[in-house]
């Protein structure tokens, strides 16, 4: 058995040497890769004030959560603002006319101010030689509980047509 070991001993030594050289080459390659990775890591972390990547990722996660909270708050505020804009009287129609055929130059008027839901008011100013009278009539859903004059009705219809013109088109 001793002779067998002696016979195989050179092969074992050469094999072990080859394996050692192969492992040495592998260690050198890994060392070079690790060195490159360390330089890239240090370059990435340079100027962040953070000592390790875990701290940086945790801080970024906290910042992201904070931004989500702020974004949700802004979405609620935007919805509230859009609702307020929708409720404001933004559409108007005006009709100028001469209330008394024999007097003046179309100094009387009817002005309709309504929102997107056709709620609002019709203001009428009747100008005469001695006095000017102003009347206000509420409007709900495009109708008034008070009788509207033809001029008031035309001003309201003009305002309603402007609402229709500004509504988004359905496809």
User: What would the DSSP string read from start to end of 42-59?
Assistant: HHHHTTS--SSHHHHHHH
Q: pLDDT digit string (tens) for 114-169?
A: 988 889 999 999 987 788 899 999 999 999 999 999 999 999 999 999 887 776 66
Q: By percentage, how much of the chain surpasses pLDDT 70?
A: 91
Instruction: State which of 15-29, 40-54, 82-96, 156-170 shows the largest mean pLDDT.
Output: 15-29
Q: Of the candidates 120, 130, 129, which has an alpha carbon nearest to the alpha carbon of residue 152?
A: 120
What gap in Å lies between CA 141 and CA 9, rounded to an integer? 105
Task: Please compute the mean of the pLDDT values over residues 82-109 and round it to a whole number.
Answer: 81
Tokens encoding 146: 């008070």
What pLDDT is attached to residue 168? Answer: 66
Taking the C-alpha atoms of residue 171 and residue 169, their distance in angstroms, rounded to an integer, is 6
Q: How far is CA 14 from CA 6, 123, 149, in A?
A: 13, 109, 115
What's the pLDDT band for 103 if we cut at 50, 70, 90?
low
Phi-psi category of residue 144: left, alpha or beta, with phi > 0 → left and psi -120 to 50 → alpha: beta
- Output the average pLDDT for the chain: 87
Question: Is the per-residue pLDDT at 102 higher than 70?
Answer: no
Residue 138, pLDDT score: 95
Dig out the tokens for 97 from the structure: 């006319």
| Strand, helix or coil for residue 21 | helix
The answer on pLDDT for 48 being more than 70 is no
Q: pLDDT confidence of 66, banded at 50, 70, 90?
A: very high
What is each CA distance from 48 to 38, 43, 112, 122, 163, in whole angstroms?
16, 10, 61, 63, 54
């Amino acid at each position: 058995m001793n002779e067998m070991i002696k016979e195989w001993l050179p092969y074992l030594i050469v094999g072990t040497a080859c394996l050692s050289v192969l492992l040495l080459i592998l260690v050198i390659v890994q060392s070079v890769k690790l060195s490159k990775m360390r330089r890239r890591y240090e370059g990435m972390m340079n100027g962040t004030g953070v000592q390790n990547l875990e701290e940086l990722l945790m801080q970024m996660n906290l910042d992201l959560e904070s931004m989500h909270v702020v974004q949700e708050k802004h979405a609620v505020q935007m919805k509230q603002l859009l609702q307020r804009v929708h409720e404001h009287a933004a559409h108007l129609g005006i009709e100028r006319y001469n209330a008394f055929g024999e007097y003046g130059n179309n100094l009387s008027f009817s002005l309709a101010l309504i929102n997107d839901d056709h709620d609002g008011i019709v203001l009428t100013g009747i100008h005469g030689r001695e006095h000017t009278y102003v009347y206000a009539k509420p409007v709900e859903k495009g109708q008034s509980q008070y009788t509207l004059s033809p001029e008031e009705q035309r001003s309201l219809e003009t305002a309603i047509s402007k609402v229709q013109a500004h509504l988004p088109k359905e496809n």
